[in-house]
Every structure is written in C-alpha cells, then in structure tokens.
Amino acid sequence: MHTSAGNATFLSNVSPLFVGLFTWMMTRRLPSGRFWMALVVGLAGSCLIVAGDLRHAVARSSADALAVLAAVCFALYLVITGRLRERVDAATLLALSTTASAVTLLVWALSGHIALAVPGVGSWWALLALGLVCQVGGYFGLTYALGHLPTPVTSILFLTVAPMTAVFAWMIFGERMSPMEIAGGAMVVAGVWIVGRREKTEVPQVEEMIPPVAQV
C-alpha cells in the first residue's frame, strides 16, 4: 500500500540470494556456481517483467524495506523447511506450520481490534479459494518439493512466480504482455533451466556389459 507493485514484487523475489547466504552460514559451503548464474539471470528477468511499474515509482520508502524483509523471511522458511523435511513428512509439517500461523494471526487481529467480518458471499468464495488453493495447495506442493530438491534449486524455481503472474493476468483479465515482459519471462525460464539441468554422466556401453553369446 505504500510502494509500487513492481518494487514489492522485485524486492521480495531476491529471496534466493538470502537462501544462498543462509546456506553458507549453516554449512560453510556456498551453493554451486550454477546457482549464482541462474540467480543473476532469473533476477534480471524478474526486473524486466516489473520494469514498467518500477519506472512509475515516485519515491522509495520504508515499505521497500518491508519487501526485503519478506524476502528474508521466505528464505528462512525455505531453509528451515528444507532441513525439517529430512525428518518430517510434508502433510504433518504443513499442518503444524499453518496452524501456528493461523493462531498467531488470530491473536494479532484480536489484540489490534481488527474486524474479521467478511462482506458478501463473493468475498467468502474468494477467501476459500485463497485458503484452499493458494495456501494449502501451494504450500503443500512447496513443502513436498523441499523434501526432494535442494533448497537453493527450489528458491530459483520460485522466480517463475513473476512470469506466471503475467500469464494469468493475460488469461483472466486480458492484460497484454509487453515485449519486455516476454523477454523477462524467457530469462527467468533460462535461469530455471540453468539451475535444473544435470551434468551428463558417462553410461557404460551395453555391449561391454553383456558377455558374448556362443555361436551355435
């Protein structure tokens, strides 16, 4: 509410940078060079996607610092969840974290005298969709993925939120994507490809593994 959408989107998308730093702090090993290359390419693409909105930002404010803080919190979420997934299954971890979040928000709302009334049936449907699809569905997928993918790789994959948002805005609201947004989306996808591709391993030849068949 106090900064541009472009600023908030781009600054909150720097969470992979903090994931790399937190990983180094916990393990004393920096992520691979491929991760940093993918991060640079992906962040550059994200910047192109929101560049139009960034140009309309009249002034920086403390709200930009909140966006960076959101990136730090999300990076901590990824790192901690990635470590917990080594011992806890996705459903249990999601149930515990979501319940803790709901209780904390309820206490915050009650102490701050925030009205919890929902105006209209349409708003109820929107809230249900946000809770079941975006929150439960989205974070279950994320929590499950963190049990099978390295945390730095998962953080880079999350940069695809920006181009996917532009695609959904085009599909649902008919918002046109500029050539700069399309180029930015392509760069984000390139960053995902860089961090996701695997090194080719040498596979022994089948002929060498099968003993010669005696001739009849």
Domain extents in the chain: 1-85+150-197, 88-145
Q: Which residues of the chain are under the pLDDT cut of 50? A: 199-216
> How far apart are the C-alpha atoms of 150 and 29, rounded to whole Å?
13
Supply the pLDDT for residue 31: 84
Supply the pLDDT for residue 158: 84
Supply the pLDDT for residue 91: 92
> How far apart are the C-alpha atoms of 49 and 186, rounded to whole Å?
10
Output the pTM of the full model: 0.75
Supply the pLDDT for residue 211: 47
Supply the pLDDT for residue 205: 42
Supply the pLDDT for residue 55: 55
Supply the pLDDT for residue 59: 53
Supply the pLDDT for residue 209: 43
Quick check: 157 and 144 in contact, CB under 8 A? no
Supply the pLDDT for residue 61: 66
> How far apart are the C-alpha atoms of 75 and 151, rounded to whole Å?
9
DSSP three-state, residue 198: coil
Distances in whole angstroms, Cα of residue 10 to Cα of each of 18, 23, 65, 100, 189: 14, 22, 12, 28, 16
DSSP string, 93-150: HHHHHHHHHHHHHHHHHHHTT------SHHHHHHHHHIIIIIIIIHHHHHHHHTTTS-
